[in-house]
Every structure is written in structure tokens, then in C-alpha cells.
Structure 1
Amino acid sequence: MTQTVLITGASTGFGRSAAQMFAAQGWNVIATMRTLSAGADLAALENLLVVRLDVQDPVSIDSAIAAGIERFGQIDVLVNNAGFGLFGVFEGTSPEKIREQFDVNVFGVMDVTRAILPHFRARQAGVIVNVSSGAGVFGLPMISAYSASKFALEGFSESLSYELAALGIVVKIVEPGGVVSTGFGARSAAEAAGLTTPVDYGQFVDAALKVFEGLRGERLATSQEVAQVIFDAASDGTDRLRYVATQDIEPLVKARRETSEADYMALMRSKFATRPIKKASVGER
């Protein structure tokens, strides 16, 4: 039987490329997005259904899942891809924006997952692929809210994987880094334009931006390459949990996971020129 995948955030970036890749591999695809007009060309692909789904709208989540099952009979794989990133210092980011960051990147994933689990449980089968980020492995300045949301997603995904294993349901995490032509950077830049940064951060922000410019000079993957990793994770038949999707983040992932805490922190502080902590003298204690 032809397998079926439901992908959130399929209008651009990884989601769009993943929808095209699964379709090219002969899968049935439920490509979901907030604005249906963005998927007009996808709808022309064979065995591909474009459905509205806003991860902040529970009614649209239930409707999209029901429409997919009605069209294709069942859903075998869920790819939680929808997300966005806030860029800027924490103090300059409003509480409302931080809540939106978690509403989309964390609670949205939870709500879509919760909605599809009864279908997976009934079948005693299913794969859930959650698209995380290198920022869910290591923290970086200027993206504290985004990083926090992806750290939360990583913890949720790992914990959930243990709960669902006994039911025949597998959870996967895909961790991409810098990628060209996804639309993600444009959304982040637009969000950053609305933030207010206290002047005291000026020197640090200037230095951090130079580091990020250098990182962008590293080899950047394409959304199609990340889509290939998403497809592999969904279809490899293993219980492997994590997949690093782009080469640019491999050194930092290795440093975070395979070196001592002291060595890792020294590396990161050297990159971002963190001011050393002043040690108090005996009289100041």
C-alpha cells in the first residue's frame, strides 16, 4: 500500500521541499499550510493534497488530519516542520513574541502530535519526524527564544519516543543548521526589525553579528538536502532518534555532545568574545 505523509509548514523551505520529495518517491502527501494560495503549484502534483492547517488553530489541525484520512485512507508519517525564529537579544524581545515563538515551535507541534496519535494508536504504527535545529543542541546568542523553543522540542521528542515505542510508534528528530533559500531568514529579519535593543548591548551585538556573518560563510545546505534527511528519517525503518541534517553544524554538535563542559564553554566564549567574569577579592566577598 502506498504510504502517506502529512507535513506542516509546507508552503516554503524544508516543508515545501519535503512535500516535493515524498511525492517524487511515490508517496501520498498531505501538504498543509496556513495560506492555501501558497501551495497552488504543489496541488498540481500527483497524489498530493493541499490543506489548510495553522498549528495555532486546533480546529484546522483536526480538519486537516480528517481530510487527509478521507482522501488517502490513512496517515503513516507526520512531519512537524512548521516553525519560525526570533532574532535579537532577550531583553529586547517582548513577552508576547516569546509566547508566539513557543506557541508555534513547541505547543503547535504538541497539538498536531496529540491530534494524530489516536489514529496511530489504532493502527499500532506511525512515524513522527520533528524538525528541530542545531539551536536545539547548542545555545547561541541573539536567538535565545528560538533556541529555548528548540531545546524544549528536543526534550519533548526524546521523552515522547519512550512513551510511544511500546505502541509501535517511532519518533525522530532532524537537526538542520544554516540553509539557503528557505524563507526562514527573511521571516527572522522581519521579526528582528520590530524589536528594540537596549543601547548597552550595542558592542556585543556588533561582535556577535560578525560571528554570524562568518558562520554564513561556511558551506550552507539547500532545503532539498534537508528534505532528503527528513525523507530518510521517515522511511529508514529504524528507531534512530536524531539526525544531523547539515554539515555546517557538525563541529558544534560534536563539541556539545562529545567534549567536556569546560572545553565546550571555553570554545563558545572564545567565539563570542564573552567578557570574563571578574573574580571578587577577599574584601569584596
Structure 2
Amino acid sequence: MSKTWLVTGAARGIGAAVVRAALAAGDRVVATGRDPAGISRAFEAQSERLLPLRLDVSEPHEAQDVVDAALEHFGGIDVLVNNAGYAQLGVFEEMEPAAVSAQFSTNVFGLMNVTRAVLPQMRRQRAGHIFNLSSIAGIRGGQGGTLYSASKFAVEGFSESLALEVAPFGISVTLIEPGYFRTDFLDASSARFATRTIPDYADQSARLRAAFEAQNRKQPGDPEKLGCLVAFLASQDKPPLRFAAGSDAINAISAKAESLSSGLAAWQALSLSTDWRQP
């Protein structure tokens, strides 16, 4: 049976790859972004099954308007892919407060806005699948990624908890945790860097920016393959809560698991000493 998808950040990168995979599977897609005309041009061959709509996820009313339009046009939403987001890069102390707010407004609150708008319809139909795009940065922190990592850690905690709340209604939640994928994620059109300059961080900031720029368009992950995998996971009766995408994601998450395990063992006796004990 064909499905109806709602994909945010659908104009390029992983979002566009998911749209292509869903359309190739014969499904209908509500593809959203800040430039719906660009989405229409990119996918005009499947225009009958594609509804391109403008959406700034940080605006709650726009999220609700998009969901209402999707329901009117296609009659339902079976799969939500919360893909919209960007990376605010640089050392934390050089970040302006406005940059902190903007990062969370899109990556966290924006994801919540769209999810909140979609859930009532999924509850009514007692079925649905929500994909939240996280990152290996949502599993382990990295130098120069304090804000981005913090936002993805928030997505991880939100998604894990939400999955428990919506499971009784037949709704699944899957966290996609990509490593580095060859998109425009690190392009000037997407990534943003700190604007303040603190002399103590000058060398560190310069090295970090050069490293990020050197990785641009050389990442090991293939977004088209990831798009197809998301479409495959959407077809599963028992999809995973977490899906690590890419060899670098597997390596990073495995290392984090080992670090947590060894740290827990090293301090276990002292940790257990904090339990309340009756005198």
C-alpha cells in the first residue's frame, strides 16, 4: 500500500534523497522547505504525487498550515521525516546568544513544531512513523560542535521519550544517526560559523574551520543510499529506534559505548555508595 510522506528540508541533501526514494517507491510526498519553487523544479517529473510547500519549521503556525494542506490534498500523513536543520560551528565562547537561540529554534524546536502538528492525525489513524534526523554528534560531542551537538543530543532525548509515549497508538519513532555524508552540509550556504573573535581561541578556531572546509564534499556517506534506506525502514513492521548510518557512525557510536561501559565499571563502587540505605 502506498504511503504519504511529509519531509522537511526537502530541497537538497538527505531530505531530497528521501523524497526521491519515496517517489520511486510510488508514494506521495509533501516536500517542504523555504523555497518550494526550487523543490518543484527538482522533482517536476513526479508532480502529480508531489506537493511542494513552503515551511520555516521554527514557526509553529507554518507547521500547522503545512499539515492542514497535506491532509486536504492527500487525505493523511503516514511518514514524517524531520530532516530540516543546520550546523552552527565553532567554539562555544565565540558564539553570540542569538546563534544559540537560532540553532535550537531550527534543530530542536522546529522538529517539535512539526511533530506536534502531525501527531493528532497519526493518533486518529492509529498508525504512523516519525523519522528524526540526528547525527553522530547526538551521541558524542566534538570540538567545534558544541551547539550543533547540544541540539542533536536534545533530539535524541526527545525522540527516545516520545517513542514510549506514542507506541500505544501504533506510531513508531526512528532516530537516524548519520556520520559524514556528501551533501552541502558544510557549504557556506548551510553551515554557520561563530562571529565573535577571542584571541585565546584564535589558533583553535582557525584549525577547526580549516578542518571543516577540508571535509566539504569529501565525506564518505552517500545521501542517495541513505534516502533508500529510510524508505526501506518505513516499510518495516518493527523498525529500529536508532539507525546508525555509515561506517564512521558505527565506529563513533561503538567507541562511545565502550567509553561509557569502561567509565561505569571504573566508578561503579563509588556510584553504588550513593544509594539510600536504612540505618
- Normalising by structure 2, report the TM-score: 0.86
Residues 1-285 of structure 1 mapped to structure 2, 5 A cutoff: 1-41=1-41, 42-45=43-46, 46-180=48-182, 182-187=183-188, 191-192=192-193, 195-206=195-206, 208=208, 220-260=220-260
Structure 1: give runs of 5+ residues left out of the alignment.
265-285
- Aligned to 1:14, the other structure's residue is in SS state helix
Change (3 A) 1:168 1:34: same
Q: What do residues 104-159 of structure 1 show as CA deviations (whole Å, max 9, x unaligned)?
A: 00001111101111101101111000010110011001010000000000000000
Change (3 A) 1:141 1:43: same
After superposition, the Cα gap between the structure-2 partners of 1:208 and 1:36, relative to the gap in structure 1 and judged at 3 Å, is closer
Identity among equivalent positions (%) equals 39
1:199 aligned partner, one-letter code:
P
Q: Measure the CA separation in 1 of the matches of 2:98 and 2:178.
A: 27
Q: Residue by residue, what CA displacement relative to the aligned partner does 1:18-42 show, whole Å, maximum 9, x if unpaired?
A: 1011001111111011121221222
Structure 1 Cα separation of the partners of residues 125 and 68 of structure 2: 15
State how far apart, in whole Å, the 2-side matches of 1:258 and 1:190 are: 30
Change (3 A) 1:84 1:196: same
Q: Give the Å deviation of 1:252.
A: 1.3
Do 2:187 and 2:216's aligned partners in 1 also have CA atoms closer than 8 Å?
no
Q: Matched residues in 2 for 1:137 and 1:190: separation?
A: 20
3-state DSSP class of the match of 2:237?
coil
Q: How many residues align?
A: 262
**Cα RMSD, aligned residues only:** 2.3
Quote the offset at 1:237 in angstroms. 1.9
Q: Helix, strand or coil for the counterpart of 2:22?
A: helix
- 1:200-259 Cα distance to aligned partner (Å, 9 max, x none): 113333555676678779861121122123222322221410001111222111010234
- CA spacing shift, 1:98–1:261, aligned 2, 3 Å: farther
CA shift in 2, pair 1:102/1:187, >3 Å: farther
